[in-house]
Structure 1
Amino acid sequence: MARFYLLLFTVLLSAASAAAQPTFRLGLRGGLNRATSTVEPASTSPSSQYYYSASKSAIYAWQAGAVLEVAFRRFALQPALVFSQKGEQFSAATYVSGVAGMSGTAMSTVNRYNWLELPVNVVYTLHGFQVFAGPYVALGVGGRQRGTISGFSPFVRFASQSTDEKVAYGPDSNNRRLDAGVNFGIGYRRGPVQVQLGCSLGLRNLHQNSADQVYDHGHNFYQDAAYNRVVQLTGTYFFKL
């Protein structure tokens, strides 16, 4: 009888140990980003003759990368390394009032910033349905800004000029190279296929003051704050390791 209980205990212990063992999978991810950033303009000038207005709207971009899954029953840790494009459509105008009337400049650009992003999500799955959340860090690796700019005065309206510039990072630019924030959302898992709809909230100001300040009719654009805001729809296919 003692041997029977010893054998039963050994079997139960082995089963419990097996159940506690994590499973590892590697996934390939692709998805669509609906990206924009917040509008937080700095004050223009103490003088009441200067005026500034700005607005932003979303752009659609993409992401792709690889995901490592470490699963413990209903819980899983999913760190990933993805190339993710974010940005916004940005419109702004600056004005100065004078004796003869109003003059100023207006611009509209589509800004696309490329990020190498490392999200680390904790995922809970029940009957296929998922909730997830976790932090991310990202490194800026390029991008492009395209648009138009025009000027006007009480007597003359200048023709629009096209702009097409690479995104620059570093101390001599307006853009920080590092971003960080949080992701959260819902999803569905069936076998090796996972689909998730999430939100990404950047917590780090993307803009910085630099040695070269840019003033336009009293407004310093380098003091404007901006934070990434992205809605993501992703699909991942997992392979067993």
Structure 2
Amino acid sequence: MSTARVFLLAPALARLIEKERGGHHIRQGYFPDRPDRSTHVQVEGETGQLVLVAHQPTGPVEQVTDIPRSQAEALLELVAGRVEHLRVSLTIGPQPVTLRRFVTPGPLDLIIVIAEPSKQIRTFQPPAWFGPEVTGDPAYQTRSMALAGLPAAPEVEITNAALHSLLDTLDGRSGVHEPQAAAPQPVASTKSAEAEAETDDEQDLNDLEIEDSVIRELARSLSPRRL
């Protein structure tokens, strides 16, 4: 089963992504939850789908059935709550991500990072243009927003670093403007300095010995000779 991480995104950055990449308009309608299952209907373009999620002890099991768009449209009129959003796909390096620009029940922009558990999604490092992570907040789940409305999302700040990082992503140059760790200083340089200091000390000692030897010889040459 896939795992996901969810992040907020500043509306201006989401608008820039939409302008560059386009997207697909999706409508989803959710029926009231039942203890053993949940159901929703989805319309994307000319395609309709009925999605049944069975709650099993081992986790949710999803079953998707294609249905005519006319039937999906009719079911949308019977749901307890609905959402509409624009879905935009892009990649950050090798990692695929999805932008969801919600218009119903209200404006909200989310970035979804999805991967198989074997790919260690928890080690994914969000770039500078991502907003705060809201993965653990059930209020940001699509079903919750359809049935209970939008959560009170905080305003996401836009910085120069975030803008440059997003432009790099759109140009396929992820990480160019990301903060880089300082390069460690080579240990050899310290040893070299110590070696130079030891060499200088040895040279000074040799110079003193030579100077002392010269003084002794000069003293002998000036001293009177005994007959």
The TM-score, its normalising length taken from structure 1, stands at: 0.21
- The higher radius of gyration belongs to 2
Greater fraction strand: 1
In the superposition, the TM-score normalised over structure 2's length comes to: 0.22
